Structure 1
Amino acid sequence: MPDEEGHVIIVTPYLRPWYDPKFKTISEGVQFFREMLEFPGIQFIHHNHIAHLNGGFTNIVMHATSMYGPDSFHPLERDLKYDFSSRVRYRSRTERPPRYYFIDYGLSILYKPEELPATVRAHEGGDKSVSEFLTDPDWRKRTPKHHPFASTSIMLVMHSEPSSADAKELREMKGFGFMEPLIAAMTEPDPAKRIQIDEAVKKFALIEKGRCRSLGVDSGTHCTGNTGHP
């Protein structure tokens, strides 16, 4: 940044909340989970020695330019075109897959390889439900004793179902029961028993392959299905 040492300007496209517009098929939801687990999600971040530490749903966004085309949408009134001339039109996630990203790295830690394994203090990020933080008797002392990558993984899953009024419809989505075993493994209260991201990615691949097989679809393609929305 000119005349501002240590500052940079980052230019990004317009980004939308990951749940807007809502998912129309099971495969669209599966693609979301895949990206959040693999690339550019938790596995990619962890392999680069970064612990996000605030991976709640409000810190996941969607790059949806492929869905909305050149007319784009207004950054504040997302249902309208950029020039307010009419309601914005868009293609489905299935037709024009978006890309999902984590944002807000204010609490994140970038480790050097020689600093791992590491521990982190309990902290007050967007997620207040991390079990090892809640049961930490030294919460106020902030003793660095927790596994940073284990806590990031649980935050992703605990907040995959947002509680805001804007995203209320997601709590009513049906058809994702096949994800329950993986969610249970990733939200195990004991961080020592909680699966790490590489194992979670492998389990997700097996779940997706099994689901494709049950639908009679080749595992190399995306399996489609109804989310329970009208």
Structure 2
Amino acid sequence: MWIEKPTPEFWKRRIPGGWCPSEETWVSLQPFLLEQGYSLRARFQPDWTPSWNGLDDFFLFSDVEDGVRHERFSILDATRTLDGTPVILKAVHKQIDPSEAIGEYFASEPQRSDPRNHCAPLLGVLHPPTRPEWAILVYHRYVPWHIWPFRRVSEIVDLWTQAFEGLAFMHQHNTAHLDCSFSNIVMDGLHLLKEPNHPANPGYTYAPRRRSVRHIERFESERPVKYIFIDFDQSVRFGPDNPNHLWRRRKGQDNTAPELRSPDPYDAFALDVYCLGHMILTHWLNAYKNLEFVRPLVQDMMHQDPARRPTALDVEARFRVIAAQLSAKDLRKSPRRVHGYDFTEYILGNVPARVPPQASTDDSLLSKLFRRRRVASTPNRPTPSGGSSFATADDLSTRMASEPRQS
């Protein structure tokens, strides 16, 4: 317990929960940002006094709204004062970061209005006079797709469909993302929240104390969930002088592709395909048992020879055929989690990739009995007498609605 009440300045810099250096930079920019029409949370006001100031249990600062530290130097949430729109501010170095140029290209017409465009739309660019080497990019605020579990296979299929579509769209516009990883795909999902969440800890609300934020499931939403590619700091847009898309990037979040071990330039588009396939392997095929329908495609996407990988456009087309073969019953099933799987341990190389179970060759009497019971309990399904049995991926929701729901 403190003998005397600490001053606000002491709290802000010295006490657990006070400002970290990256936060102080944003605090210094607060007057400029407000002038430009963007307000920051209470924590980032120059005259902020911590709400736990003077309390004996000040170590519980992380349970209150203004106690959540934001230690990512380049990114901060804000609110557009004109209409209350929640936004994200991203500071980039003008000389070395291509995010501004890439963002302006995909935010211009006709790219902006194209439904296949899944690049985060750039809302504006700010130029702080005290930091002339910076540009502050303004985007909509999104939420991570993994802040709560997927409840139906259809939700995962929807994310994959949009990710493949978005990557194919970028490649059609001669742009390689070069850092396709799980944290660089986000969800336009603020409408799924039943209450405001905390921008720095999006799975929680802090009104009045920290708890999990209440939300509806993705499949319950009347408004479709859109998945968005973000973070174009490594991206490159190729001109006609580089038709083979040869490039070398800086170190990214996924560095497992075999071509990264060579000092020579490589096909940037093939690297994007590999990284997206590896993301699906890491976060879904290793983690769930009933998503094996996509494994052959992922194996092709991760081929050791980049020249033998399918293009992003081929990946999109193949997956639409795969998705169209899934029945409404399959889509309504819950993903079956692999017990004990931790993707961080896999990334660190501490656990191997999950191998799909092989068909049983056990011919014992007990095995035959169980197989006979399973066959007997499976209802006969009518076989289509003619025509194609495939539907388009866009008909998934229609087919799900047309079949009776299971309680």
How many equivalent residue pairs?
209
Which residue is equivalent to 2:325? 210
C-alpha displacement of 1:122: 6.0
Task: Identify the residue that residue 14 of structure 1 maps to in structure 2.
Answer: 141
1:160 maps to 2:285: no
1:174 to 267, 282, 289: 289
TM-score (norm 1): 0.78
Residue 243 (structure 2) pairs with residue 119 (structure 1): no
Using the alignment, how far apart are the partners of 2:154 and 2:215 within structure 1?
18
1:127 is displaced (CA, Å) by 1.1
Instruction: Give 1:34's aligned residue.
Output: 161
CA contact (8 A) 1:23 1:29 kept: yes
Residues 29-38 or 4-13, more deviating? 4-13
Q: Which residue of 2 aligns with 1:75?
A: 199
Q: Indicate the larger mover: 7-16 or 190-199.
A: 7-16
Which residue number corresponds to residue 84 of structure 2? none
Question: In the alignment, what sits opposite 1:91?
Answer: 216
User: Following the alignment from structure 2 to structure 1, what is the Cα–Cα distance between the partners of residues 199 and 282?
Assistant: 21
Structure 1 CA distance for aligned equivalents of residues 188 and 240 of structure 2: 31
Shift of the alpha carbon at 1:57?
A: 1.4
Query: Residues of 1 paired with 2:278 and 2:268: CA distance?
Result: 16
Give the C-alpha shift of residue 46 in structure 1: 1.1
TM-superposed deviation, 1:197: 0.7
What amino acid does structure 2 have at the position aligned with 1:209?
Answer: A
1:160 Cα offset (Å): 2.6
Structure 2: which 5+ runs fail to align? 1-125, 331-380, 382-389, 401-407
Deviation, 1:181, is: 1.1
| CA distance in 1 between partners of 2:309 and 2:139 (Å) | 35
CA distance change for structure 1 residues 82 and 43 in 2, over 3 Å: closer, same or farther? Answer: farther
For the 8 Å contact 1:49–1:110, the answer to whether it is kept is yes
**2-structure distance, mates of 1:46, 1:15:** 23
Task: Report Cα offsets for 1:10-31 as digits up to 9, x if no partner.
Answer: 3333322222211110000000
How far apart are the structure 2 equivalents of 1:177 and 1:201?
Answer: 17
Aligned residues: percent identity? 26
Question: 1:142-198, CA deviations, whole angstroms, 9 ceiling, x for partnerless residues?
Answer: x32x111000111111123557xxxxx984322110001111111111111111011
The DSSP-based 3-state class of the residue aligned with 1:58 is helix
Offset at 1:68?
1.1
1:185 matched to 2:300? The reply is yes
Equivalent residue letter for 1:129: T
Residue 45 of structure 1: SS of its match in structure 2?
A: helix
Residue pair 1:74, 1:84 contacting (<8 A) in 2 also: no
Paired letter, 1:58: S
Q: Which runs of 5+ in 1 are unaligned?
A: 164-168, 225-230
Task: Report SS of the residue matched to 2:156.
Answer: helix
Q: Which residue of 2 aligns with 1:227?
A: none
Q: Which of structures 1 and 2 has the larger relative contact order (alpha carbons within 8 angstroms, sep 6+)?
A: 1
Q: Which residue of 2 aligns with 1:221?
A: 396
Q: What is the identity, as a one-letter code, of the residue corresponding to 2:272?
A: T
Matching of residue 194 in structure 1 with residue 321 in structure 2: no
1:109-129: CA deviation from partner (whole Å, max 9, x where unpaired): 112245323311264211111
**Aligned mates of 2:254, 2:294 — CA distance in 1:** 21
Distance 2:243 2:311 in 1: 15
Q: 1:161 to 1:187 in 2, by over 3 A?
A: closer
The one-letter amino acid paired with 2:321 is L
Q: Distance in 2 between matches of 1:111 and 1:214?
A: 43
> CA–CA distance in 2 between the matches of 1:172 and 1:115?
39
Distance across 2 between alignment mates of 1:202 and 1:63: 24
- 1:38-57 pair list within 5 angstroms: 38=165, 41-57=166-182
Counterparts of 1:36 and 1:183, CA distance in 2: 13
Q: Aligned with 2:192: secondary structure? A: helix
Counterpart Cα distance in 1 of 2:190 and 2:206: 13
The match for 1:104 is 231
Q: Which amino acid aligns with 1:11?
A: V
* TM-align CA RMSD: 2.8
Matched-pair contact (CA < 8 Å) for 1:62–1:99:
yes
Residues in 1 aligned to 2:242 and 2:279: alpha-carbon distance in whole angstroms: 29
